[in-house]
Structure 1
Amino acid sequence: MTALITGSMAYDTIMVFHDHFKNHILPDQVHILNVAFLVPELRREFGGCAGNIAYNLKLLEKAPLPMATVGKDFGPYREWLSRLGIDQRYLREIDDAYTAQAYITTDLADNQITAFHPGAMSRAHLNQVPQDSDIRIGIVAPDGRDGMIEHAEQFHRSGIPFIFDPGQGTPMFEGKELLRFIELATWAIFNDYEAKLVQEKTRLTPELISDDVDAVVVTKGAEGSVVYIDREPIKISPAKPTAVTDPTGCGDAYRAGAIYGLLEGYDWETVGAIASLMGAIKVESAGTQNHTFTMEGFRERFYDNFGYHL
């Protein structure tokens, strides 16, 4: 009983500038911008939506199958996945490309300047949803544009229910393309901003989208989330983190929780609660794949937050 996770695998290089960007960027000179920031803090994290979701699903003791295109520099990430025991059979290495990577510089006000190189991710369409694995559920997470379109069609043709999760890839698609994703998908998950962008492009609110899928989830950060089923909202309370350290990757952790709940056959109130707790656990740690827990500890925290046992 497993899940196929289509999406990106990426390196995140995160640098911290010990000042404020605004002190070094002159507003009236942005047309000739030429700045350099000294960044004494630097860390390289394993990331990408498929990698992050797979990591979180493995913590929940499931057997994720990430499917992505990666580059010639993937060796360290591959070793990390091997140590975790995550199946890599659907990771295709592209010899003449680098793995997708983001270079993120953050100042003391948490403003960010990011450069993203898609690299091998742009060839995600070379992968195809397999027909011969015991795949119970899938997700189309942010990836190469053509790959996302083709994988949604392949999930549908294969009869595999899947989550449509456009994430930061939402701006790549026109209204007609988003409507096609919604037509094919079984469920959809957006954050609040993405839901508004989808509505702007399709003229469909989450309530209306719920006419075409089994459930629409809209996450609202620290305010929790809302699940729409047949236009009726189900409010999911946020779980309580012990600390707020780094929100990066919380959305992927939430989606892994949703996949786990769906695989286990829980109702959407419980699916949303599991997902909420996954996001809370992630926010307590820096980076996207550094948090950990035992299932016993997870169930205890679930009871503490929601008042009933899984």
Structure 2
Amino acid sequence: MRTLICGSLAFDSIMVFQDHFKHHILPDKIHMLNVSFLVPEMRREFGGCAGNIAYNLKLLGGEPVIMATVGEDFSLYADRLDALGISREAVRTMPGSYTAQAFITTDLADNQITAFHPGAMFFSHENDASQARDIGLGIVSPDGRDGMLSHCRQFHAAGTPFVFDPGQGMPLFSGSELLEMVELADYVTLNDYEAELLQARTELSLDALAARVKCLVVTRGEEGSRFYVEGRQIDIPVVPAKAVVDPTGCGDAFRAGLLYGIAHGWDWEATGQLASLMGSIKIEHRGGQNHTPSRDAIAGLFKATFGKTL
């Protein structure tokens, strides 16, 4: 099944400052801050929620189709997607724009200073989710504000089941807008903080929100995840990782497992278990797309951990 993944594609430039920010920022001079950090270590990662979700779904043998708006500097990422066999037929280049980019400087205490340039994400509403061909399932993940709203409406109007994944885009919307997108969706996925924020914005409990969709999923870090479905709750344990290296992109890997299970008609327990496994595999590697297990390797881990066949 071809799955349309609406969301961001981005470059992440990650730099390491070999000291502590606090040694170079004078508290009584913050009103006139002017600092420079030498960062001899730097790496550039391929990221964005749509890119990360599609990457993980492809590892599972799924058929992701990315819908995103990118800038004129996208060629390196485009070459990567082509090499991975991930369709970019619904990726649109916006003239005069940069691809979304995050510039992250980390010190030795893991404090971070981040600057994010959304660039071409501002134009995500110019893509129409209903125009993508042969799509059986979709997801609306963090993207430009207007794009997220319109893509939810387009999926619903086209009769295509989809997952609403507001993520870090949630503060962009009013309570009524969030409730509209929940009611248009078939499935909703959140982390525990987002779940609290959604309840506060909509003034509805998780049980009340879950009653509006087929399934509402809340990830809870080390406590695993909870699936709210048909008036009951299904708790899925976290899969212990060999090493906790970097949580960046773990939520996106989880969502890829969720999409795979939905696309293949799995029950919610098995779907949650696969999603949990994908998050565990990712957390053992730095960056959102640097883990490279084969599908057979994932299947072997799934069998060994849960006794189930991929």
Please state how far the C-alpha of 1:101 moved relative to its aligned partner. 0.4
Aligned to 1:9: 9
Q: List gaps (5 residues or longer) in structure 1.
A: none
Distance 2:53 2:188 in 1: 16
Query: What SS does the aligned partner of 1:90 have?
Result: strand
| Higher mean displacement: 131-140 or 144-153 | 131-140
Distance 1:211 1:269 in 2: 19
Please state how far the C-alpha of 1:22 moved relative to its aligned partner. 2.1
Do 2:100 and 2:117's aligned partners in 1 also have CA atoms closer than 8 Å?
A: yes
Aligned to 2:74: 74
Please state how far the C-alpha of 1:200 moved relative to its aligned partner. 1.1
Aligned to 2:163: 163
Please state how far the C-alpha of 1:131 moved relative to its aligned partner. 4.0
Q: What letter matches 2:82 in structure 1?
A: S
Once the two structures are superposed, residues 103-156 of structure 1 have per-residue CA deviations (whole angstroms, 9 ceiling, x without a partner) of: 011112222111000000100001001346221110000000000000000000
Distance 1:115 1:16 in 2: 14
Query: What SS does the aligned partner of 2:29 have?
Result: helix
Distance 2:233 2:27 in 1: 44
Aligned to 1:182: 182
Identical columns (%): 57
Do 2:8 and 2:121's aligned partners in 1 also have CA atoms closer than 8 Å?
A: yes
Q: What letter matches 1:247 in structure 2?
A: P
Mapping of 1:79-118 within 5 angstroms? 79-118=79-118
Do 2:90 and 2:132's aligned partners in 1 also have CA atoms closer than 8 Å?
A: no
Number of aligned pairs? 310
Distance 1:235 1:287 in 2: 27
TM-score, normalising length from structure 2?
0.97
| Higher mean displacement: 160-169 or 33-42 | 33-42
Aligned to 1:280: 280
Do 1:182 and 1:188's aligned partners in 2 also have CA atoms closer than 8 Å?
A: yes
Do 1:131 and 1:158's aligned partners in 2 also have CA atoms closer than 8 Å?
A: no
Q: What letter matches 1:218 in structure 2?
A: V
Aligned to 2:290: 290
| Higher mean displacement: 20-29 or 72-81 | 20-29
TM-score, normalising length from structure 1?
0.97
Aligned to 1:61: 61
Corresponding position: 1:308 with 2:305:
no
Do 1:162 and 1:187's aligned partners in 2 also have CA atoms closer than 8 Å?
A: yes
